[in-house]
A and B are shown apart, each in its own frame.
Chain A
Amino acid sequence: MIAAWYGIVSLMLIIYVVLDGRNFGAGMLHWFVAKTREERRQVVAAIGPLWTWHEVWLVGFGGTLLAVFPRLMASAFAGYYLALFLILWGLILRGISLEVAGHINDRLWQGYWDFILTFSNFLLAILFGAAAGNLARGVPLDSHGEFSMAFFTSFNVRGNVGLLDWYTVSIAIFAAVLLAAHGATYLTLKTQGLVRSRSTRAAKVLWAAVAPLFIVISVESWLVRPDLPGRAIYNPFWWLGLVIAAVSSMTLISGLSTRREMRAFLGSTFLIVGLLTTGGAGIFPVMLYSTLSPANSLTAYAVASSPSTLRLAFIWWPVGFALATTYFVFISRRYAGKVSVKQDNQGVY
């Protein structure tokens, strides 16, 4: 049951990254693929009416994590203190720039918020990437299962590490490029005209950059955590993730080269799902790895709530999940297809 809950909270996080990741990507490219006011309205309308719904996956992940892995939530959130607040501030800036830009129809005002939107999304992609890097590399957990981490220490990956080092920075760069590519693929699907052609071009360039970066971070991950692959190959989900990633990268390539936009977007989405599944399965059952001593690491089994608490959460979680999906399907169907500036005044008051 603990493994199942590990799967569920990972799933919530993966859904969050895939959905909000496309907003991060679209937001990062906002400044570059859209120049005029009409074009930028297309991008905001493409991000669409559901961005708060996407963000709720992060909130749901936090709440569920607290219920089923309270000791992990306590150690990790207190330990990542500064990093988490930067993420929160990034989310505030992102949400506000989507909301307030349309209130005043003025070039300076909107230009300012367009810039803040681009900047905050870039910051968020970098920070979430660094956070993923930290999960793989580990954090300086002491023997009480607690840690407190600075932004940076010596940029080394062993011992008393900081949030940023050569490894987590490269994961962060990879994440930013990957999410930008994902966002570009999404914009290609949802927009028309110049925004679409610029996005198509951006998607090709960015995906071409993802491939070599992926090889680099794979080698780096192996150097940082040589202990992982030996265990991971016995985990069927690790293989599942690899298969999903392989199949969806084929789908993506065929979608991009034949200009089938939906196919490319699905490929892009499931490629990220596959990569994150591989990562999540790769580190299991350790949820927080200690760089000081492997014995201090926190495994899912050590941080889980009591069996009765886990059983209780099994009652309400699937119901909530089914309802949430229903709303999403309903709204998404209403907004299917290309955005039209005539019909979608998303963000404009």
Chain B
Amino acid sequence: MNLSDPAFWSRLQFGFTLTYHYLFPQLTMGLGWFLVYWKWRALRTGNEQYNQAARFWAKIFGLNFAVGVVTGIPMEFQFGTNWADFSRYAGGVIGQTLGMEAMFAFFLESAFIGALIWGEKRLGPRYHFLAALAVAVGSWLSAYFILVTNAFMQHPVGYRIEADGLLGIASLSAYLLNPWAWVQFAHNQMAALVTGSFVVTGLGAFYTLRRVHLTQAQLYLRAGTFAGLIASVLVAFPTGDQQAKMVGRYQPVTLAAMEGKFAGGPMAGVAVIGQPNLEARRLDNPIEVPGALSFLAYGTFQSYVHGLEEYPKDLWPDNIELLYYSFHIMITLGTLFIILMACATFQNWRGRLCSTTWLLWVLMLAFPYTYIANTLGWMTAELGRQPWLIYGVFRTHDGYSKVVNSGNMLFTLIGFTGLYFVLGLLSLSLAGREIAFGPDLEVAANLQEKEAPV
């Protein structure tokens, strides 16, 4: 890797801004359905507790949403600013879904988000419920369109090379119904739901341990652990499993790199521990489950799994070590999430969750790891795609903007680093403040109270 190579800076900037951006939508996509659920329960039962829960989480949601919006717009622009040659080549294809994302998803979300957070009085209970639904649906739709775009880069289908040498769409339905996109969508949305459930559960555990807002904490724990268990299971099986099979079928060299397999063969194992050693072309200190990879990727223990050495080196992902660790840590965390949520659901079912202090502590502290797992999942997908921008069609190194020099790129990267550091401080401290105030204070009362001493 050459540090004066502008392609490096474009990759770093895109990777950094995207990773940062995705910390926010993953929560909104998960949390959105909790708001829908609570608004619906409030409509059906008339129980004000549900409304209170929705109102409180809408504040956290709103803060997240705003940071998600402002950090999301640079993503779209960077296609043009940093990846001009890629945009020129593939714009006719990927532009379609980026345009659709704005027209069908963002307009829906953004029209109703303000009304959801501040417009309860203007909308009335029914429409307020619908606003929550619109925002949740909008956020999932936007995920779908962006994942179709990503799936095209992972597994290009439905395209053709036009007379002018650029890519165009041959079949819109093949492009939109890319099998990779559906599997990735299911996997990714379940992962977002894992983040949402762990955050809701974590706060429920926190309030329970502090013995404050206990009625509300009950609601969070009940909904959070239930959704958390379902989502943690679904994210592994069938969605994660299908995703791995998809990689095995269409990107066998990526699968080999994810598992650190240098030599191919049957009875390929999954490493529980081990460090890839590219010099010696082997996995150091391996502890393996024999045959597991053959079984998981291709269905039988005897299935042949390709090794990296079967492919020329210029087809290898260009950072095998990072890819290997991303994948493995994600899998480990995912397994722990299932165990944790199974324990929590079991205790909850027995009615003992609130008195199981150790479990509440673990639940309270677990939520950051869901962000890590989500991020690592995306790193696995994107590092695994290398060295291609569009798998098998267009190389990453051909895609960056040739007219932008490293000096300009570093200028903007430094700018983003500073700005995003401030955004991080702001959103963490303000979310912390809202959590400290808690759900019991009503907006109006809150204002009055704080106003009095001034």
Contact = CB atoms under 8 A, between A and B. Distances in A.
Contact of A53 (B98, B111, B122, B433): B111
B80 A50 contact: no
A209 B108 CA distance: 38
Nearest to A316: B100
A92 B424 CA distance: 13
Contacts of B289: none
Contact of B401 (A70, A81, A327): A81
B404 A148 contact: yes
Contact of B80 (A53, A64, A74, A100): A74
A58 interface: yes
B430 interface: yes
Interface in A310-349: 312-313, 315-317, 319-321, 323-324, 327-328, 330-331, 334-335, 343-349
Given A64-B99, A308-B169, A49 B113 contact: yes
Contacts of A257: none
B73 interface: yes
Interface residues of A, number: 76
B403 A79 contact: yes
A147 interface: yes
A66 B426 contact: no
Contact of A60 (B69, B103, B446): B103
Interface stretch (B200-208, B364-372, B379-387, B407-415): B407-415
A77 B168 contact: no
B451 A105 contact: yes
A158 interface: no
A58 B73 contact: yes
A225 B103 CA distance: 35
Nearest to A92: B70
Q: Is the interface of A mostly helix, strand, loop or mixed?
A: helix
B87 A74 contact: yes
Contacts of B405: 148
B419 to A, nearest CB: 6
Residue of A68, A96, A321 with most chain B CB atoms under a 10 A cut-off: A96
A327 B108 contact: yes
A88 B450 CA distance: 34
B99 A343 contact: no
B104 A77 contact: no
Contacts of B121: 343
B433 A104 contact: yes
A66 B91 contact: yes
A70 B166 contact: yes
Contacts of A222: none
Nearest to A347: B118
A240 interface: no
Given A60-B103, A81-B401, A96-B66, A105 B450 contact: yes
B110 interface: yes
B48 interface: no
B85 interface: yes
Interface in B90-113: 90-96, 98-104, 106-113
A50 B104 contact: no
B115 interface: yes
A82 B77 CA distance: 12
Contacts of A327: 107-108, 111-112, 134
A56 interface: yes
Given A70-B91, A92-B419, A60 B99 contact: yes
A247 interface: no
A346 B403 contact: no
A58 B74 CA distance: 11
Residue of B62, B98, B110, B426 with most chain A CB atoms under a 10 A cut-off: B110
Residue of B101, B118, B172 with most chain A CB atoms under a 10 A cut-off: B118
Contacts of B122: 334-335, 343-344
- The 6 tightest CB contacts between A and B, nearest first, are A49-B114, A70-B91, A77-B80, A320-B103, A67-B95, A66-B95
15 contacts: A55-B69, A67-B95, A67-B99, A68-B95, A70-B88, A70-B95, A78-B401, A89-B415, A306-B162, A309-B162, A312-B96, A320-B104, A323-B103, A334-B127, A348-B443
